[in-house]
């Protein structure tokens, strides 16, 4: 039971990014989703450090120390991009001006609670960054994550056990096994990876799953897993 690969997960999330949206992408898989936004959809990617309209990564020759995203990556600007300071950038986030944020996560609860910032690493200091602002205030909060931990423990839970990022915020989850909405009744499976049964999915989840009447198979193209 393998599910879809990480590039396919990013691809699948990207399909739901709508034309004209302002989108904030967390590090890792969410940023990768940015590369798979379908052609013809005009999207502004926001970075917490104030860039409104991130373009592709800069080539080594074009790289500029001052033109970076929140992950310190040297980027370019898309046409129509602008840049504001941190106060204005977070005013924009908190004020509900980000249409969707796509975040990584450790755990999501059936009521939409999100835990994505603190794994309780005993040796490391805490790092919250803009995660709480984005999770609490973006109009839609989507998560991309593996359906279970490496040890096989479920990440979809009745209640999160790790420290929360924000309460009742997640609206959609893209995993290697399914696409799941969070609704009042809990987890609603919309799509399921090829070859996975509903029973198998439930067995890998820590809270009851509802299945949409029109629940279908995730239709992702073949995409080689990046190294």
Partner 1 sequence: MPIDKRVAAAAAAMDGVRDGAVVLISGFGGAGFPNVLIRALCERGLRDLTLVVNSATHRYSVTHELIEAGQVRKVVCSAARGHAKGLSAFEERWKKGEIELECLPQGSFAEKIRAGGAGIPAFYTPVGFGTELAAGKETRRFGDRDYVLETAITGDLALIRADRADRYGNLAFRYAQANFGPAMATAARLSVAEVRIIEDAPLAQPDIQLAGAFIDRVVAVGDMP
Q: Which residues bind partner 1 (CB under 8 A)?
A: 19-20, 22, 40-42, 44, 46-52, 64-72, 74, 77, 79-87, 89-97, 113, 123-133, 136-137, 163-167
CB 192 within 8 A of CB 218: yes
Shortest CB 110 distance to partner 1, Å? 16
Query: In whole angstroms, what is the distance from residue 111 CA to residue 64 CA?
Result: 43
Q: Report how far apart the first and last C-alpha atoms of the chain are (Å, whole number).
A: 21
Shortest CB 53 distance to partner 1, Å? 8
For partner 1, the closer CB: 10 or 93: 93
Query: In whole angstroms, what is the distance from residue 103 CA to residue 80 CA?
Result: 25
Which DSSP string corresponds to 32-77? HHHTTSPTT---EEE-TTSEEEEEEEPPTTT--TT-B-TT--BEEE
Shortest CB 132 distance to partner 1, Å? 4
Query: In whole angstroms, what is the distance from residue 145 CA to residue 180 CA?
Result: 11
Does residue 146 have an active-site annotation?
no
Q: Which two tokens stand for residue 171?
A: 């609206």
For partner 1, the closer CB: 7 or 89: 89
For partner 1, the closer CB: 83 or 212: 83
Among 48, 146, 153, 225, the active-site one is: 48
Place of tokens 């509900």: 96
Structure letter (DSSP) for residue 218: -
Going from the C-alpha of 219 to that of each of 12, 179, 227, the distances in angstroms are 8, 11, 23
**Torsions phi, psi of 90, nearest 5?**
-80, -25
For partner 1, the closer CB: 66 or 184: 66
For partner 1, the closer CB: 71 or 223: 71
Residues assigned a catalytic role: 48
């Amino acid at each position: 039971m393998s599910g879809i690969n990480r590039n396919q997960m990013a691809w699948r999330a990207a399909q739901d990014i709508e034309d004209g949206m302002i989108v904030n992408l967390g590090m890792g898989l969410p940023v990768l989703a940015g590369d798979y936004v379908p052609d013809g959809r005009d999207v502004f990617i926001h970075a917490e450090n104030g860039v409104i309209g991130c373009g592709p990564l800069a080539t080594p020759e074009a790289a500029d120390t001052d033109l970076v995203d929140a992950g310190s990556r040297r980027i370019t600007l898309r046409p129509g991009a602008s840049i504001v300071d941190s106060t204005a950038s977070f005013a924009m986030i908190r004020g509900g001006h980000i249409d969707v944020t796509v975040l990584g996560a450790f755990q999501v609860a059936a009521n939409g609670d999100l835990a994505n910032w603190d794994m309780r690493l005993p040796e490391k200091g805490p790092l919250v960054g803009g995660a709480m602002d984005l999770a609490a205030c973006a109009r839609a909060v989507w998560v991309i994550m593996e359906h279970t931990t490496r040890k096989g423990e479920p990440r979809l839970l009745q209640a999160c056990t790790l420290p929360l990022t924000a309460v009742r915020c997640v609206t959609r989850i893209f995993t290697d096994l399914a696409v799941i909405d969070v609704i009042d009744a809990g987890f609603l499976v919309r799509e399921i990876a090829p070859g996975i049964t509903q029973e198998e999915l439930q067995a890998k989840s820590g809270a009851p799953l509802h299945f949409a009447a029109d629940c279908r198979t995730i239709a992702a193209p073949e995409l080689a897993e990046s190294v």
